[in-house]
Structure 1
Amino acid sequence: MQNIPSVDLRDFLSDDPKRKQKFVNEIGKAFEDIGFVALKGHFLDDQLVEELYSEIRDFFALPLATKDSYEIPGIGGQRGYVSFGKEHAKGRKEGDLKEFWHFGQYVDADSKYASEYPENVTVKELPRFNVVGKEAYEMLEKTGIYVLRALALHLGLDEFYFDAFAKEGNSILRPIHYPPITQEPENAIRAAAHGDINLITLLMGAQGRGLQVQNHNGEWIDAIAQPDELVINVGDMLSRHTNNKLKSTIHQVVNPPRELWGTSRYSIPFFMHPVSDMPLDCLENCTDAAHPKKYEDITAGDFLYERLVDLGLIKK
């Protein structure tokens, strides 16, 4: 049994209004109740998934000195390599037991956001790495835009409300490597309890135990997807914009049982961010006398900066 609801994007994409509404209802309820779903029918085909995993395994297997050459100073880890233990959860000092790579948004040179986004970093040793990464980025972004259209309808907004904010948004594709654990970790786990910063996160690689979600009773439950599913969750930006109507759920990646310490884990989240000038003000139709406005007005760009400082990726 899965502990999180499963939905099928093909319902939303169908020409049948009842199937489309079924998807809107199911994902809306799930995101109000627990903030997580497993999604079938997305735009990543098996061959692309297989090739992406192959490329990222090859990258993380490169010598440390080679990987370190792709860690770019001064950009808060927004592109390229971020070394083991550098990122920590908000409010924690211990670094997470992971290393990762960042692919960022691809915009035309004349885009108003071109000057905001650092260039993507090309890995010279792996000729297919950046090609495959870009293709996966675009398919995950396409999937995310349709999910946001369903959520817009659930919230009583125009179906395409989020499109202008999500297209050219500051989204990040993050292949993560959790290396084998070689000694007893001191108060550190693979990814400490946290909420995501962004609008929604689309996660590849939740087929095995490790990812846990905290329900409303404070209990940790395993979030395990089927091989053909992505796990999708609400981030803090969307929760804030909807005045907590849609829940940004705390989650973590726990260390495996000791007998599996010698194994690596790979996961690939796509953090879907809006453009920096999107106002995250609480939506009027998510506030009323029973649900007063919980948050001050702020733009997505300012909110992101605050959180990157909290995570230790930007020094004030």
Structure 2
Amino acid sequence: MGDNARYVFRASRDAHKSITRLFDFVHPTAISLWNLRWQVQGYLKNVSDADARTLEARFASGSGIGAGSLKRATVETTWDEQLENFASFILTNTIAIFEDYFSAICDVSSLTNAQKRQVEKQLQFPSGANNGGFSAALTTLGTSSLVSGAVTWDKRTTRRIDETNVEPLLVCYRYFKELRNSLAHNGGRAGQRQLDAQSEFAQTISGGKIGSVKAPDYNPFNAVDEEIRPEYRGVIGFSEVILHLIATYDSVLSKTPIVENELRAALVPDKLTWPTSQIGKTRRFNKVFDRNKFPKFTPTPELVAFLKTEGLIPLSVTI
């Protein structure tokens, strides 16, 4: 997955990095629990009368963590149940990261506070939603040609940019968001909203995909009050959907005035004397955009004029 993907917006970089680090924690933790289960179960086969204190001394000594529930966790709870718990943890955190992403994006805009709250919500819904969804948000944001034709994302990002399918990707997001809501607020049982979201999600899947990304696996439920069982591989697939949405939104939002505020905030003024050769000026221009953060920018006339106006490069520069 890698957390060094380059995006126009800092919020995109931060969200991608947070999702990567989430899995850097969860996957090794799940593997460790799998191995601990075998160790404890093997130990109990030979020392069947071992109590909680004995198990804690054998497996948790020095950790600073009490292990009174060690037997319940490694023997009495099935591996499938624990994978569902991991899935819930991943789902909850992935949704939180994505929600924070929209908040950070809107904070960069010049919208009023009321408009920011509205757009933050709309960007999380497909266009057919009651609040107007994606298309209504773009109408509020407006358009900007500042970096049009000037940005070249690398292959790791372009393979995830899927503007054509942003709507079905958002339908997928709404299903998993409703799944999270049920787990957090409805005792882990399905409500009518979850059933409706599941139906819409199923209809977006074509040939096992949603746009260019593999459709996440999921355990379907059929009735209100049925217990929801999140699927471990499914929420991993959902996280890939979120990475597609982040890359897609980075592209979409770079065509709105938010990009202008982003560059004003992110770039450091270069007031030194520039080289006179074309090659030297091109190299100097490239240094304006930190390649550890940004995709490649081309010095289009509009972008160069903006950088001059904002005092980010000398007025005398011609590229």
Pairwise TM-score range, normalised by the shorter structure: under 0.3
Question: Larger strand proportion, structure 1 or 2?
Answer: 1
Question: Larger helix proportion, structure 1 or 2?
Answer: 2
TM-score of the two chains, using structure 2 as the length reference: 0.21
TM-score of the two chains, using structure 1 as the length reference: 0.21
